Amino acid sequence: MMNPITTYAPGRAELLGNHTDYNEGFVLAIAVDRGTTIRGQARDDRQIHLHSREFGKTQVIALDRLTSEKVEPWSRYTLGVVDQFRRNDLPVEGFDAEISGNLPLGAGLSSSASLEIATVLFLMKAFGARLEPMQMAHFAQMAEHDFVGVRCGLLDQISSLMSKAAHATFIDCRSFKIRHVPFPDKTSFILANSGVKHALVASEYNERRSDCETAAHALGVKALRDVTSEMLQSHKSDLADRIRRRALHIVGENERVLAGSDALQQGDIARFGKLMFASHESSRVNFENSCPELDQLVETARQTPGVYGARLSGGGFGGATINLVEAGREDEVIRALTASLPGVDCLVTKAADGALEHAASHPTL
């Protein structure tokens, strides 16, 4: 029997910077204190036996016959990473692995990226590839593009991998320079899962991405990162209304991330919270990636004492809101949210370590 291996990667929550990642803009995110674990070992027959505890299902496939169509959707996040290793001539063989975890699926906490990153770490340990953190994030992202069909940016993968406890992770999605900004203590986050799952998330997401590309093209820039509010204002009549609103969201989000990062440096949590509310409003009106349930949760948060700010977190079209809350008042806030949207599922988290820090502090993982 070969040596058993265990790897772990957390989910993430986006604090500010919605859909800015693939526009080469800025993001502030955290890793949450829950995630996905993979346990298993290499096999010597080029077969993959993958089991999901959550789904109670097993997928068996020969490494050499691996394509996304041949495998079940739940297994594509893992097997998509295997496929990236193969395409990039990284060492990979058959293996047995079991996936388990404590992240709610489809709740906007990126259980998908946590699974992809845990897989990258698992394959590296099992077969000896040496990768830089940005390469690891990149292979995880490409697994999602090629095997799942979502043209996501790198926010989820980077924050799952590189976050640090008690800090927000600032990502410049052009240079890919990462900065850890201390998060004022005496705060916690409540992730409120609306339970709404939009049927067309992947296609809506990809449509938003192509709207942004259309806007950048019409404005003659490489990406919306290069657009300022003033530029947008002076080119107002050159853009169709929908495209202009999409661009307005991204430009505003980039400005809010920079302002939010300053606010955090100064320990001004109230200002940070206001930026979160403004971000949600822009999602609702300009990017149209909210839904009535998320709007309801944010409206309730706005009226609840102890909440600094709230907004949808992640792709949108359902999923969760993130609420920045005064520590000690979590229960009252959860009561208010639950009363306003029955069935909402709330989870309290602090900014946690990403997979790299987690592995460093748990060497026996």
Using CB positions, name the residue nearest to ligand GLA.
152
Total residues binding ligand GLA (CB under 6 A): 12
CB of 153 to ligand GLA, least distance (A): 4
Angle at 275 between CA 273 and CA 340, to 5 degrees: 60
**Contact string (CB under 6 A) for ligand GLA, positions 131-170, x = contact:** ---------------------xx-xx--------------
**Contact string (CB under 6 A) for ligand GLA, positions 256-275, x = contact:** --------------------
CB of 104 to ligand GLA, least distance (A): 15
CB of 109 to ligand GLA, least distance (A): 9
Residue 14 interacts with ligand GLA (CB under 6 A)? yes
Indicate which residue of 21, 33, 156, 211 is catalytic: 156
Q: How many CB atoms lie within 10 A of CB 324?
A: 22
Residue 24 interacts with ligand GLA (CB under 6 A)? no
Nearer of residues 282 and 304 to ligand GLA, judged by Cβ: 282
Nearer of residues 152 and 232 to ligand GLA, judged by Cβ: 152
CB of 254 to ligand GLA, least distance (A): 12
Among the listed ranges 2-10, 18-26, 298-306, 334-342, the one in contact with ligand GLA (CB under 6 A) is: 18-26
Region 92-131 residues binding ligand GLA, contact defined as CB under 6 A: 110
Taking CB under 6 A as the criterion, the residue among 101, 315, 318, 354 binding ligand GLA is 315
CB of 151 to ligand GLA, least distance (A): 9
CB of 149 to ligand GLA, least distance (A): 12
Asked about 156 being catalytic, the answer comes back as: yes
Positive or negative, the Cα torsion across 77, 83, 88, 90? positive
Residue 343 Rama label (left phi>0; alpha psi -120 to 50; beta): left
Residue 89 Rama label (left phi>0; alpha psi -120 to 50; beta): left
Among the listed ranges 11-19, 214-222, 274-282, 343-351, the one in contact with ligand GLA (CB under 6 A) is: 11-19
Taking CB under 6 A as the criterion, the residue among 5, 7, 10, 21 binding ligand GLA is 21
Among the listed ranges 19-27, 82-90, 116-124, 262-270, the one in contact with ligand GLA (CB under 6 A) is: 19-27
CB of 4 to ligand GLA, least distance (A): 31
Q: Which residues bind ligand GLA (CB under 6 A)?
A: 14, 18-19, 21-22, 110, 152-153, 155-156, 314-315
- Provide the annotated active-site residues: 156
